[in-house]
Structure 1
Amino acid sequence: MKAIIAEKPSVAREIAQILNANHRKDGYFEGNGYCVTWALGHLVSLGMPEDYGIRGFDKASLPIFPNPFILTPRKTKQANSKNYQSDPPALKQLKIIKNVFSQCTSIIAATDAGREGELIFRYIYEYLQCNKPFERLWISSLTEKAIQDGFKNLKNGSDFDGLYKAAKARSEADWLVGINATQALSIAANNDVYSLGRVQTPTLALICKRFQENKDFKQKKYWQIQLQHRKDYLNFTSLSNMQWEDKKQAEKILKAIEREGRATVEDVSINTIKEQSPLLFDLTELQKEANRKLGLSADEVLQTAQSLYEKKFITYPRTGSKYIPEDLWQEIPELIRILNQTEPFKPAISILKFGNFNKRIVNDLKVTDHHGLLPTTKIPSALNASEKVIYDMIAFRLLESLSEHCTKQVSHITIKIHHYEFSINGSKILHKGWRAIKGLLSGEMSLNQHNNSKNNSNNSQTQEPQLTELPEFKKGDELKISTAELQEKLTSPPKLYTEADLLSAMENAGRHIDDKEQQKTLASIGIGTPATRASIIETLINRNYITRKSKTLIPTDKGEKVYDLIKDQKIANVQMTAEWEMELHQIEAKEINSKQFITDIKNYTAEITQELLSINIPQENIPEIKCLKCQQHNLIIKDKIVKCPDEQCQWILFRIICGVQLRIDHITSLITTGKTPLIKNMKSKNGKKFDAFLVLTDQCETIFEFPQNR
């Protein structure tokens, strides 16, 4: 009997059906010589500090370096308590898995084929102290054919020791940095609770740094001169190469140009360029594109793609590659023939040249754990709006990648009036190539957006920019100036991060390093992985460090406070986090030893712990206010709550109301007078902003009171 362990019940069910293991038991399937069971995500994880006998923290107890780390069943937080207890469903499933393993002679690991999937299986295997031989099912889709082929080509479990060591090292590093840094800063902040992490804190630093640069930016006015021309029945414009900060000077030049009335062509540059077709999506690129065009969050895209994968409509989504291997290329024509049976793709496929596909996406050396995202041969049905648009993006991107390059004629003309130069730029598509398919996708996405009110405002983003066709020019030509006007413009601040921009910054963190040699080494290394970046953003939101405002990510007051405390500390260093990611890749490739990596992490942890403990944090001037309900005890005022310490009284007020954190003066006024000052820019459940007073009732409950003019 062989045991098979999948990551989720749904995947276990698919595998069991294919293997004819059709007898349903409690927590597993059985039959045909197999027992097919499942994990429930991370059933086993690294123990919490209390598992090592640590109940409280002080300066003397930090840093904590468990040796060895303890594995424990997944824990959940108890209601109305800071304590954690073992999750009952996790305990039950672990008992079932132990029973299944005990019945079998060997094991097949069928958890997701990636770093986290490997960790899920290995932690269970270690926690249960299992020593039975195991093999690895390594597949990139859940179609019947992929699963059958995977079982015909099972890998030796030891082939993935490097992947496991990298996953284990990442898990332990996150524990060491997260637990110690969080406790150190909380102690320095007089036990106010802050959360720091190996990846989340540098990511927060990126957002806060950009936000402060944007806020501190001083806009300046400047002026440019735009001219209107007409030649060969075509109207076009030219723009001055110079910008003037002095309006009077610009007006003087404008008058001189108007008097002259004509310009001379100084230089003509016309180039034919080829725009290569795009590569396939990896997860990060899919998240960026869906955020830009549809306003979907990175997490929404990941969850949607995961759903499509589990329904067998696309290949494994948590990929960092945009290529496919040579042996998969032979399956592409059949995949295109199947896509051609569905209406949305027929017009695009009619543009493709069968038998002469662009082979740019084939590169064995650039395929990582998984190849680029592809649709499978299973045609989708009954998709919801999000699933349909993500599926269409992936399918159309495949069609684009197989298409010919786009050919453009790009013109840059320089003209001169007196000694002032103006530019005329134009572009003409000579051969659409892959852009013809991109245009069809834009129409599909616009239609979906029209049916999805959440994304109505983004329709314009799916349209290709209009290209300017120009008449013929030659050096020495004279151009008449039809009209001339002065244009007032403003310098632009650094753009606030959208999720797409932040994903790019995380993906390319190594490119922003000042040291040029290090930049070369780390250029392609990011912080986090394609599989984890969405969860990092969501973690920062859930911890009230950042918030979504329209399409941008901005720090909250709490997020800025944390950033101000740690911005000069090593824990906010993006470069160091990128270097760690590179080392984790090297551990996976068995190029370096994971033990040395953990030793370096411990040394780093000791440094940042001391740095954070030594921070001098000015305390919020918190007044002593008697509880209005019991009139006996002074209220405890924390970052998120105001509460009475008396367990009998239990009066509590949450400080964050409709997205706004109550200031100390709000709380003081509310308790002493029964009413706050006017609180502005609160946000209702439907996203609308409003202003209101917060008022205490006779029962010491809070209600809104709106201004009379509202």
Structure 2
Amino acid sequence: MTIGILTEKASAAKNFAKALGGPSGTYNGEKYVIAAASGHLYEFVEPEEMVPPSYADKIGGYWDLAKLPWDETQFLWSREQKHGAANTIARIKKTLSSCTTIVIGSDIDPTGEGDLLAWEIIAELGLDTKKIQRMEFVDEAPASIQQAFINRRDVTSMHDEPNYLKAEFRSRFDLLSMQWTRGATKVLETTGRRAVLRNGRLKSAMVAIVGQGLDAYNDYKKIPFYQNRFIDDHGVSYVNPEEPRYKTCDEVPQLYKASAVECYEKSMKKTAPPRLLDLASLSALLSKEGFSAKNVLKTYQQMYEAQVVSYPRTEDKTITPEQFKELAPLVDKIAGLVGVNPADLTHRQPRSTHVKPKGAHGANRPGLNVPTSIAAVKTTYGVLGQRIYEVLAKSYLTMLAEDYLYEHQKGRVVDYPAFLGTANVPKSLGWKGIFDVDAEADDDAAGSDAAQQGIGTRAEPEVFEGFPQRPPHPSMTWLMKQLDKHDVGTGATRTSTYAEVTAGKSALLKETRGKVTMTDAGQLNYLLLPGTHIGDLKLTERVYADMAAVAAGEKTAEQALEPVKQWVEEDIATMTRNAKNIPQELGKKLMTTTFTPSVKHSGTWNGEQVSFKKVYCGHEFSDAECEALLRGEELTITDAMIGGQITTVTGKLAHQSFNKDGKTIKFFGFKGQVDRIASADPAVYAVGVWKVEGEKIRFKRVWGGHKFTDKEIADLLEGREIAFDAMSKAKKPYTARGSLQRGEYNGNSFVGFQLAPRD
């Protein structure tokens, strides 16, 4: 009897192996083996592929308002392997098929995502006929994993698991939300413009919030007011709230003379360290230094894979006691790296505000692999990697410092006691002497001399010129705070979605050193959203409430999805009305030809008379392409629209099928896969045919700091060995010699440069 443990990713499998005694073995008298996924290995097929053929033509191919809204009751919610997941799936199947019990060891998270990705694998591989159990752990510390292994609970069915149910509902909702992208895109075409307007719970919320913020900022009128006030010799201002305001300076009566001031009350106050950073807050801070959210995600992931920083996509705001204990011995070393004096870290006991016995990965923080120096971080991960580590480390170290202490002083003008002023005098900087994240995040933060000196001794009257406070210009920091305030998304999803809507040809927002504005497409989308369900933040509240109801068994996913059809129908009507008010001059450069209707093409394929749709994901095959497909040739198209994004897809004609109510339904048409190689960034990857395997591949242009020349790339693709000068980690020069080799990382096959074995 062997227990098969399914973890969410390779790093988790390593932690499980460390806790239990290896990737396989015996623990607590029970034999076990560990298998690792790499996130979601399955994804929904295209909408037209998961419905009966009789309904497929009514929703698929050509984007047409007449095909919206969809009837979700026709959907079978079929899944397929994600591109590049085949090796990982095969390895999991081989490892777990012989096990008598399958234990779900994926993440425990509020959205149930860990349960969903595990059950996808179990169901698709037919492993649900075995005994299923669940390990529930607060973190991946050895003690937590060991306790969770001993206390496994039996699972009857995935349909009895609340976390799976709510995650499955949310994933179905998000697929149905593709209708809003299609609807907005096609409504826009009626104005003579064409742009892919990507919409969804989080994307639309970002556009709506930024649009409203820009309106408030741009509509601001700087209308001054004038008022009698006092200012003392320390710069403290004294205000009488009953004092009238005037429109001009000349209207203000001269009623007051200079007077002594007195401090009539003092009290000591303290402020505890702020909460730990999430990925959105970190990314927002770094955006003001010119680092994009996309690059922050990419660099952070690289650092995480080396365990230099913790898991990036955590939803935790605190860490567990075990995680606190793990980092405790490393604190002084981490402090030294980022220029913090360990002597200032006197609060070495866990704070109840920051350390709680719940969670999974814990809040973002430094990892257990502490670099040798901050310069080494910069060498390996660039300036961005250095800044990520510095900010994360200082943020974490603040909770080990003492509270910020200050004296709060209240003062008044002696001769006119209705005029009051206040000052805060620092007594001990505590954590603020290490890292004040609030000041870093505040775009308008400025120091105050009065805060340093306290109440003065004498004040002079002044005619104060004031202005209504201008709303802040939208920034990434501001946007993330708004999303957090309305509880829209998580720190990780906010960052990844923000990276998506600020990048590429279909970007809706654009950012310059943290300041956020809109692209023409974003402005057009914003003008379509007023009055829509998808543009209302309450929609996300409704989805989260429905997730909770589905998890509690108060609703089924089908019942929770029922309103979507009506929402889409109403939103298309609202967008159509809003489109009439779009200024004629706005977004005219986006004008282009519209899509052409979908038709079918017939002919002989492999000796068989067939008919297939001429349109695939928005791309209409030319007559020449149709004939090439009938000859069995493989085609690559570069303008397929998948999930609202323009994507490169490679494929050919094939007989395909899907399941409905246990029955197999067959159809014929173009079967494509996203071409990851074709979409490779030429600045990062070299692309070409590798003669060793006769296949088109991509591989990284840089190895160990050496950028391959064009000749070296050509030699590598030919299968030849190359040699070049390199520098070891010990800063010693040597000759690197090697060639391209196929390897595996996190279950995915890749090709890259590898050193030749030494003699």
Could you say what secondary structure the match of 1:572 adopts? coil
Q: CA 1:339–1:153 in 2, change beyond 3 Å: closer, same or farther?
A: farther
Q: Is the 8 A contact 2:347 2:401 kept in 1?
A: no
Q: CA 1:285–1:465 in 2, change beyond 3 Å: closer, same or farther?
A: farther
Q: CA 1:583–1:306 in 2, change beyond 3 Å: closer, same or farther?
A: farther
Could you say what secondary structure the match of 1:532 adopts? helix
Correspondence 1:46 to 2:44: yes
Match of 1:209 in 2: 212
Match of 1:200 in 2: 203
Could you say what secondary structure the match of 1:570 adopts? coil
Q: Is the 8 A contact 1:46 1:69 kept in 2?
A: no
Instruction: Report how many aligned residue pairs link the two structures.
Output: 561
Indicate which of 234, 245, 248 corresponds to 1:246: 248
Q: CA 1:129–1:409 in 2, change beyond 3 Å: closer, same or farther?
A: same
Match of 1:73 in 2: 80
CA–CA distance in 1 between the matches of 2:508 and 2:544? 24
CA–CA distance in 1 between the matches of 2:520 and 2:62? 28
CA–CA distance in 1 between the matches of 2:62 and 2:465? 62
Structure 2: stretches of 5+ with no match in the other structure: 586-590, 596-620, 625-638, 640-682, 684-759
Paired residues for 1:382-531 under 5 Å: 382-383=376-377, 384=381, 385-415=383-413, 422-430=419-427, 432=428, 435-441=429-435, 468-470=451-453, 479=458, 481=460, 488-509=465-486, 526-531=487-492
Residues 165-191 of structure 1 show CA distances to partners (whole Å, capped at 9, x for unaligned) of: 121111111112x22222333343347
Q: CA 1:346–1:487 in 2, change beyond 3 Å: closer, same or farther?
A: closer
Higher strand share: 2
Match of 1:180 in 2: 179
Paired residues for 1:73-222 under 5 Å: 73=80, 87=83, 89-114=84-109, 115-131=112-128, 132-136=130-134, 151=149, 154=152, 156=154, 161-176=161-176, 178-190=177-189, 192=194, 193-222=196-225
CA–CA distance in 1 between the matches of 2:146 and 2:299? 25
CA–CA distance in 2 between the matches of 1:228 and 1:392? 40
Match of 2:268 in 1: 272
Correspondence 1:350 to 2:343: yes
Shift of 1:200: 1.4
CA–CA distance in 1 between the matches of 2:391 and 2:555? 38
Q: TM-score under structure 1 normalisation?
A: 0.66
CA–CA distance in 2 between the matches of 1:459 and 1:198? 27
Match of 1:583 in 2: 546
Letter paired with 1:436: G
Shift of 1:211: 0.8
Letter paired with 2:268: T
CA–CA distance in 1 between the matches of 2:33 and 2:350? 44
Q: Is the 8 A contact 1:339 1:379 kept in 2?
A: no
Letter paired with 1:361: H
Shift of 1:574: 0.8
CA–CA distance in 1 between the matches of 2:134 and 2:512? 44
Could you say what secondary structure the match of 2:119 adopts? helix
Q: CA 1:16–1:303 in 2, change beyond 3 Å: closer, same or farther?
A: same
CA–CA distance in 2 between the matches of 1:619 and 1:281? 40
Shift of 1:338: 3.1
Could you say what secondary structure the match of 1:531 adopts? helix
Q: CA 1:4–1:236 in 2, change beyond 3 Å: closer, same or farther?
A: same
CA–CA distance in 1 between the matches of 2:267 and 2:22? 62
Letter paired with 1:194: L
Residues 132-174 of structure 1 show CA distances to partners (whole Å, capped at 9, x for unaligned) of: 3344455566667766666555555569922221211111111
Match of 1:661 in 2: none
Match of 1:523 in 2: none
Residues 544-585 of structure 1 show CA distances to partners (whole Å, capped at 9, x for unaligned) of: 211103321111222111111221222211122223224324
Match of 1:553 in 2: 516
Q: Is the 8 A contact 1:348 1:437 kept in 2?
A: no
Shift of 1:38: 4.2
Letter paired with 1:106: T
Q: Is the 8 A contact 1:141 1:315 kept in 2?
A: no
Shift of 1:267: 7.9
CA–CA distance in 2 between the matches of 1:465 and 1:171? 49
Shift of 1:421: 6.0
Q: TM-score under structure 2 normalisation?
A: 0.62
CA–CA distance in 2 between the matches of 1:283 and 1:586? 28
Q: Is the 8 A contact 2:402 2:430 kept in 1?
A: no
CA–CA distance in 1 between the matches of 2:553 and 2:280? 25
Match of 1:340 in 2: 332
Letter paired with 2:179: N
CA–CA distance in 1 between the matches of 2:417 and 2:278? 47
CA–CA distance in 1 between the matches of 2:576 and 2:444? 47
Q: CA 1:465–1:37 in 2, change beyond 3 Å: closer, same or farther?
A: farther
Match of 1:666 in 2: none
Identity of aligned residues (%): 21
Residues 357-403 of structure 1 show CA distances to partners (whole Å, capped at 9, x for unaligned) of: 64443555xx4555444555553444334445444444444443344
Correspondence 1:62 to 2:59: no
Q: Is the 8 A contact 2:217 2:470 kept in 1?
A: yes
Q: CA 1:11–1:582 in 2, change beyond 3 Å: closer, same or farther?
A: same
What is the alpha-carbon root mean square deviation over aligned residues? Answer: 4.6
Letter paired with 1:541: T
Q: Is the 8 A contact 2:406 2:426 kept in 1?
A: yes
Shift of 1:68: 4.0
